[in-house]
């Protein structure tokens, strides 16, 4: 849902006018039933729009809260909105629910992600006719549905038309204008009310000049798109008011301006003058087709009875101007179908079924410089870009230039071959090759060079450039060097580096190769926002791709059942689009020109969709000789990689499959004529290359599948053989690059089982490998014989050595007896030493015990000293207490004296005890000295 206008013109206060703070209770986190408001998207004179989440269904919605305190108006609004909600159409915004909260009526609508049409028109004010009609057709379909339900929009304008990110065009605000006006059977205003409203409008030329005209707060429309009956001339307003707005928008798209330019604001009131006709389109833009101009002019007739009767009539009048509808005329012999080949830009007129996806991709390109169209094989990615995106870009009115390359085996060389003609031109092939090699080397050092060249060209030519990298998966299937792949992606990053740049890069990539892109983290990060997933066409898209090209050529299918049967089969078939194109091409070839019809009998003879491709390919093989079939088998197998994808192979490399180059050329020409192969002629610097016309051949042709399964064991080996032979040739056939060991053994086994033809280079490499292996085998046999002779000589030497060994053994035994005797003597000496050591340890233990006793005695003496000191301290305290107590208690003096004498005796005893301890300590010290002296003498005697 797009945001509401930021402001609008208002008249004097009225019951419906917004009151200050009337919606102040609503904000992020507020709940309205099971809806939780997230944030405000916009606000206008009619109400405020919030983004909200539906907590019941788990989806995001838009909630529009209206500014009003009029209960009658709220009831009428809810009733009208419910009526509008019943109008269900893919091009009309969906109204999920209506209700009332805190006295404010509200609507719950689908949340649309995209941009309004007026933003597209600002970037390209004047559109080509086909593009303008392409944009307005969905709007007319929406109007037709609404008018059927008797709902008139009454405020149709580019701001109310959204181009979503998915490519769908949605019309907003259906029914609201009808609710907000008075009696629908009268004119919108009387002249006095109108003039009163005009006084409140902005001055022409100001930024708000396109705001709404109001009367007593009621929305009447937007000045630039209001019909004459909306300007107050008493004429009732009906659905033809919307047809007028369609005419204004078409005029603006085709001419780049409003019909009444330079009139603005109140000056547009001249629209109400019925006797003053509107300017004709061709008077402003003479190059517009006459028929298209007449349609626009009829929409802008002031008398509504003279306009188209309904929106469906306008749509039918515009359909011939849709893209591709007026390019081909009925009765042309050219097939309107592409067969198995990809659609090219020149085939855009017959490219159907992808309109929505194309619009979505064009929308994404405006803000995203790097895009990747990702889809399964057979989804039509290349055709979608070449025949869908590029032509639509060129129809937008903006000058676009398209450049297309494929990575191939030399992706940097492909970029260089594209850039070289843009920089300089050379008269000779040698000069071209030299410059391309220089540019290729330069790209490795300066990956931003390509982007600089393209941007300079875009500025110089005043145009935009879209670079299409087709078959991007070839970067991983054909380029084994990861550094080469990173250099290529670095160049692409330098091209698509900013959304403001005039350069866009679009890749087509098979979805099963998407994970390979992540090897370059920087490029993957830049590519991730631009991933565009293209699924196989749905049933409606397939129907358009099948039926509309035939109708464009003036033909039709004989029966609807025939179309239904084809679509039912294709719905469950991988790669449905190329199979459809091929089957339709075969049907076209068997058409009935007299009845201008694609017949059911031809379809049955074709074998239906399933048998069309296989039948055709098998019929081509059936017309070949056995030798040609064998060579065709080798060609097809060579054109399929080990990963079951198409391989691009140079014509020179295919010529190595056989010595008869003329026979090979004739066979390739016949397969190209049969639409099974395609040849890319290349340019001066690159030779011609050959590939399968489409990957659906790999999965849809049973014969090729059988060949691939039979050669499953050899396919990986052949791929290794091709790469190894190519490197061997590039290094001047360096013998160091020849296979050895297990690979040489595998080569020998392959040679014994393989019955097909190999290119000369591969055969030469294989022969060199086998020759080297033979030489190595001979050397190995010589080595074995020499080794056996050496072993015999060693045995003889060993026999002679046994005699010397026996004598040495006897001598060793004699020496062993002598050693045993010496060992016994050593054991006796060791025993005596151990006994002496034990006695010494006993004596030492006694000394240590006595030492412990001495230490304990010393500790007791220290404790006694401490006790004496403690006693002295206590005595001093007591003396102090006694001195203080003498004056208070004389009778205690006797007791104190006795206690003093007792204390003195204790002190004397302590002194005696201390003296006795000192004597004991001295005696123990003397004893210890004597023991130490005795031990020393004993130890010396022992040593002696």
Answer for the pair 330, 577: CB distance below 8 angstroms, yes or no: no
Which residues are paired to 114 by β-bridges?
164
In angstroms, the CA 52 to CA 100 distance is 16
Residue 167 falls in which region: left (phi positive, over 0), alpha (psi -120 to 50) or beta: left
Helices (H), 623-660: 626-638, 651-655
User: Taking each helix axis from N to C terminus, what angle separates 411-423 and 449-461, rounded to the nearest 10 degrees?
Assistant: 40
At 138, list the tokens. 């969905």
Give the Cβ contact number of residue 873 at 10 Å: 10
**CA-based angle 585:588:590, to the nearest 5?**
115
> Per the omega criterion (within 30 degrees of 0), is the bond before 231 cis?
no
Q: Which one of 54, 155, 310, 432 is the catalytic residue? A: 155
HSE on the CB side for 942, CA within 13 Å? 15
| 332 contact partners, CB below 8 Å, separation of at least 6 | 553
In angstroms, the CA 832 to CA 29 distance is 99
At 755, list the tokens. 């019955």
Q: Which long-range contacts (CB under 8 A, 24 or more apart) does 143-146 make?
A: 143/171, 143/239, 143/242, 143/243, 143/246, 143/311, 144/310, 144/311, 144/312, 144/315, 145/87, 145/88, 145/89, 145/91, 145/92, 146/84, 146/87, 146/89, 146/92, 146/174, 146/175
Nearest to 389 by CA among 398, 376, 378, 402: 402
In angstroms, the CA 670 to CA 658 distance is 17
Report whether 64 belongs to an annotated binding site: yes
Catalytic annotation on 333?
Answer: no
In angstroms, the CA 751 to CA 809 distance is 61
Nearest to 374 by CA among 476, 473, 492: 473
HSE on the CB side for 183, CA within 13 Å? 9
N-terminal to C-terminal alpha carbon distance within the chain = 115
Answer for the pair 43, 89: CB distance below 8 angstroms, yes or no: no
Answer for the pair 412, 491: CB distance below 8 angstroms, yes or no: yes
For 424-437, b/e burial (b = at least 16 CB within 10 A) is eeeeeeeebbebbe
| 146 contact partners, CB below 8 Å, separation of at least 6 | 84, 87, 89, 92, 152, 153, 174, 175
Four-CA torsion 719, 736, 441, 762, nearest 10 degrees: -30
Look at residue 188 and give its three-state secondary structure: coil
The annotation places the binding site at 64
Instruction: Tell me the catalytic residues.
Output: 155
Annotated binding residues for ATP, written as ranges, equal: 64
């Amino acid at each position: 849902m797009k945001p509401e206008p930021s402001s609008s013109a208002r008249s004097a206060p009225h019951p419906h006018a917004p009151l200050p703070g009337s919606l102040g209770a609503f904000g992020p986190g507020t709940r309205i039933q099971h809806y939780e408001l997230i944030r405000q998207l916009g606000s206008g004179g009619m109400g405020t729009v919030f983004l909200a989440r539906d907590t019941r269904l788990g989806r995001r919605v838009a909630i529009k809260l209206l500014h009003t305190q009029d209960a009658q108006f709220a009831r009428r609004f809810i009733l009208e909105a419910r009526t509008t909600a019943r109008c269900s159409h893919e091009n009309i915004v969906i109204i999920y629910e209506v209700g009332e909260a805190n006295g404010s009526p509200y609507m719950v609508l689908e949340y649309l992600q995209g941009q309004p049409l007026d933003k597209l028109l600002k970037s390209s004010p004047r559109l080509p006719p086909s593009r303008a009609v392409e944009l307005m057709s969905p709007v007319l379909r929406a109007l037709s549905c609404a008018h059927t339900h008797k709902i008139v929009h009454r405020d149709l304008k580019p701001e109310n038309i959204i181009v979503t990110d998915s490519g769908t065009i949605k019309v907003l605000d259906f029914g609201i204008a009808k609710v907000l006006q008075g009696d629908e059977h009268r004119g919108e205003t009387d002249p006095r009310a109108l003039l009163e409203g005009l006084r409140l409008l902005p001055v022409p030329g100001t930024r708000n000049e396109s705001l709404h005209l109001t009367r007593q707060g009621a929305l009447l429309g937007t000045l630039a798109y209001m019909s004459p009956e909306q300007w107050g001339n008493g004429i009732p307003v009906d659905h033809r008011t919307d047809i007028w707005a369609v005419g204004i928008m078409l005029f603006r798209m085709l001419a780049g301006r409003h019909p009444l330019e330079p009139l603005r604001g109140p000056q547009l009131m001249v629209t109400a003058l019925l006797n003053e006709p509107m300017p004709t389109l061709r008077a402003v833009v003479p190059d517009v087709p006459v028929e298209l101009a007449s349609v626009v002019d009829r929409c802008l007739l002031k008398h509504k009875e003279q306009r188209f009767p309904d929106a469906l009539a306008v749509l039918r009048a515009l359909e011939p101007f849709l893209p591709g509808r007026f390019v081909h005329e009925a009765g042309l012999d050219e097939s309107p179908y592409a067969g198995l080949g990809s659609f090219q830009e020149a085939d855009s007129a017959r490219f159907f079924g992808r309109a929505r996806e194309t619009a979505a991709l064009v929308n994404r390109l405006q803000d995203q410089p790097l895009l990747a169209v990702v889809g399964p094989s057979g989804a039509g990615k290349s055709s979608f870009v070449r025949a869908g995106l590029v032509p639509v870009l060129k129809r937008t009115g903006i000058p676009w230039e398209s450049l297309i390359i494929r990575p191939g085996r030399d992706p940097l060389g492909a970029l260089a071959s594209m850039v070289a003609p843009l920089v300089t031109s050379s008269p000779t092939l040698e000069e071209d090759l030299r410059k391309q090699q220089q540019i290729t080397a330069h790209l490795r050092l300066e990956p931003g060079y390509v982007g600089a060249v393209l941007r300079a060209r875009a500025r110089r030519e005043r145009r935009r450039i879209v670079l299409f990298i087709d078959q991007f998966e070839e970067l991983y299937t054909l380029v084994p060097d990861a550094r080469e792949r990173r250099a290529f992606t670095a160049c692409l990053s330098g091209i698509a580096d900013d959304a403001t740049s005039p350069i866009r890069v679009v890749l087509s990539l098979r979805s099963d190769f998407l994970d390979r892109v992540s090897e370059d983290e920087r490029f993957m990060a830049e590519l991730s926002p631009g991933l565009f997933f293209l699924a196989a066409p749905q049933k409606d898209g397939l129907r358009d791709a099948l039926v509309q090209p035939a109708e464009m050529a003036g033909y039709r299918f004989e029966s609807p059942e025939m179309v239904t049967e084809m679509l039912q089969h294709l719905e469950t078939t991988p790669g449905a689009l190329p199979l459809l194109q091929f089957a339709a091409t075969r049907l076209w070839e068997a058409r009935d020109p007299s009845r201008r019809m694609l017949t059911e009998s031809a379809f049955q003879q074709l074998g239906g969709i399933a048998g069309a491709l296989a039948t055709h390919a098998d019929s081509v093989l059936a017309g070949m000789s056995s030798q040609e079939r064998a060579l065709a088998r080798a060609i097809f197998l060579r054109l399929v990689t080990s990963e079951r994808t198409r391989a691009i192979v140079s014509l020179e490399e295919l010529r190595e499959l056989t010595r008869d180059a003329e026979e090979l050329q004739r066979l390739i020409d016949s397969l190209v004529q049969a639409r099974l192969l395609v040849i890319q002629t290349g340019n001066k610097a690159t030779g011609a290359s050959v590939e399968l016309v489409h990957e659906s051949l790999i999965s849809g042709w049973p014969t090729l599948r059988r060949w691939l399964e039979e050669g499953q064991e050899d396919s990986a080996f052949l791929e290794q053989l091709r790469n190894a032979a190519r490197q061997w040739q590039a290094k001047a056939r360096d013998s160091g690059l020849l296979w050895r060991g297990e690979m040489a053994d595998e080569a020998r086994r392959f040679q014994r089982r393989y019955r097909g033809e190999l290119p000369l280079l591969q055969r030469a490499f294989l022969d060199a490998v086998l020759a080297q292996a033979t030489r190595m085998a001979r050397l190995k046999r010589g080595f074995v014989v020499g080794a056996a002779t050496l072993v015999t000589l060693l045995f003889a030497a060993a026999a002679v050595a046994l005699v010397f060994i026996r004598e040495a053994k006897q001598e060793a035994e004699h020496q062993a007896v002598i050693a045993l005797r010496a060992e016994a003597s050593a054991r006796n000496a060791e025993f005596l030493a151990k006994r002496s050591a034990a006695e010494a340890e006993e004596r030492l233990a006694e000394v240590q015990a006595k030492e412990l006793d001495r230490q304990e005695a010393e500790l007791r003496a220290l404790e006694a000293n401490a006790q004496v000191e403690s006693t002295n301290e206590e005595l001093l305290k007591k003396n102090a207490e006694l001195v203080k107590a003498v004056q208070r208690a004389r009778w205690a003096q006797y007791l104190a004296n006795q206690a003093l004498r007792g204390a003195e005796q204790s002190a004397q005893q302590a002194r005696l005890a201390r003296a006795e301890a000192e004597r004991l300590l001295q005696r123990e010290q003397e004893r210890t000295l004597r023991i130490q002296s005795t031990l020393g003498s004993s130890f010396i005697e022992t040593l002696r």
